[in-house]
Chain A
Amino acid sequence: MGPDKTAAKQCLLSADRFLKESRFQDARTEIEKAKKFDPSNVYVLAFLDRINYFEAQQKKEAQVSAAKAHPSPAPAAPSPQPHAATPPPHAAIPQPVKPIVPNVPKPAPATTEVPLASAPPPPVKPKEAPEPVAPARSEHRGVETTLEEMKRQIEMLTHSLEQEKKAREDMSKQQLQSTVLQLRTSMEKAWATGAPNEQEEEALHKLAISLSIPENVELSLRREVKLKMYSTAVKEVISKRQLLRSSSSTLEWLRKVYQVSMEEYLEYETKFLLDLVADQYKGTLLYVTPNVKTKDELIPRLKAAGYAVVLSGTPEEALEKIEKINPNIILCHTEFSPGSLSGVKFLHLLRASAKFNFIPFLLLCESPEVSQLKSSELRQHEGFLKKPVDVDELMIAMNEKLARFRDYVSSLS
């Protein structure tokens, strides 16, 4: 609380004391002072209402006493105080209002760390000066004002609580981000030249604990850093591939150095491949083959030719991947294990999709299927090759289909 607010609080306390002593004018003077010290203090107006109420109440009592001392000659005259018999609503209401001054919200511990204290209170509506109205009307007006004031206080407290909650959330988020960044930097340093040794791993784990980073976040970060550093190393070594005896054995060595599992490699394959062939990248090739797990000699040839090859074991799996990888060309075997779609069926499904029906598509088929495919109405960007596939023949066919695709795309513009 600033010095002006403290002074305002002192004035309000003095006003409260004067009010109890029925020194209404002195109380008003203190309130005026408080208003000057802290114009935004919402209790000032509430206090003025209290003063008005008690002053009116005192005058009323004085009138009643005077009437008792000098009884009116006309007893049938209507009472000017129709509610005098019932306890004035203010009599009960000032109770919750009274502790307002001592309860002026103090900054919570968190507000010293976050800028809550600077949050402006809800705007106080300017009030009209109390009119010299009839006491009943004044009472009613007093009740309304007090209720309104209480409502405003509740709103203000709710607002402050919400702000504090948000500030706390922001703070913990920022703290987590900063600690995660700290751990990430240490991890990147440790993983720069490969998987860290046991002692380094232990030190990283201890650091994560000391930074209160949850274990799942730590593990996820470890995996992210590992794959990033592996990918960086792949890029670096591949830029010098002309000096290497074999790119594939070098990559296999790097996979061991960075402890990248085959599952992780396959999960990130497209990205890694794009890194590998970035300078000679011809496009993404979706290769649907039942021989995913066995050694397919076609794959390294396709990669060497500049394609980022994404493998699918079945047409169903290919349908799942196709949205994500958006291939430039598809190579697909015709026969798959029982229960799976055939390559031809897969082609028909893609033809039915407005999004994928123009992707160049080559079927790799057995001899007996050739005559059947020859007689079928393959479109210009579709084709087939007889197995065993001659790689040069395949490259020619792929280039031809891609050229037709480029012509088609150019015709659209």
Chain B
Amino acid sequence: MSKKILLAEDDEDNRDLVSFVLQRSRLGAELIVAENGQEAVDKAFESIPNLILMDMQMPVMDGWTAIPILKGDKRTKHIPIIAFTAQAKPEDKVRTLEIGCAEHYSKPMDPEELIALIRKYLAD
């Protein structure tokens, strides 16, 4: 059974780019897309993905709110979450780790680096 990755990202270009990179990564993972935090939470409960890539700044519900919900639910608390953000300040990184993210990834993205990171968490 193929592994599932949930991408929560409000920017269409970014979603397309992650999809483009994942298709060419040959990871064979299924990509589930959510356009805001609320949708991400709903889809995570519904599909129980193997990994979540979460943009921190989104409309309706941002990543700072969505991640604690996911980490507080027994169905999804085990899922590794990579905070996907343009905020590259050191304190942001610390904060994302504090709310339960496994990793902090700063945009703009580098395809090879992103694939390596995803591969690492899918293998675990």
Please give the residue numbers on chain A whose beta carbons come within 8 Å of chain B beta carbons, in ascending order. 193-194, 197, 233, 236-237, 240, 242-246, 249-250, 253-254, 257
Contacts and interface: CB of A to CB of B under 8 A. Distances in A.
A194 B24 contact: yes
Nearest to A244: B108
B13 interface: yes
Given A193-B23, A194-B24, A237-B20, A249 B112 contact: yes
Which secondary structure dominates chain B's binding surface? helix
B28 to A, nearest CB: 10
Interface of B: 13-14, 16-17, 20, 23-24, 26, 107-113
A245 B108 contact: yes
B24 A243 contact: no
Nearest to A194: B24
B111 A243 contact: no
Contacts of B14: 243
B17 A253 contact: no
B101 to A, nearest CB: 20
A240 B16 contact: yes
A245 B13 contact: no
Nearest to A249: B110
A244 B26 contact: no
Contact of B108 (A193, A236, A243): A243
A194 B112 CA distance: 14
A326 to B, nearest CB: 34
A237 to B, nearest CB: 6
A233 B110 contact: no
Given A194-B24, A233-B24, A257-B24, A240 B13 contact: yes
Nearest to A242: B108
Nearest to B111: A253
Given A245-B108, A245-B109, A253-B112, 9 more contacts: A194-B26, A197-B26, A237-B17, A243-B108, A244-B111, A246-B110, A249-B110, A249-B111, A253-B111
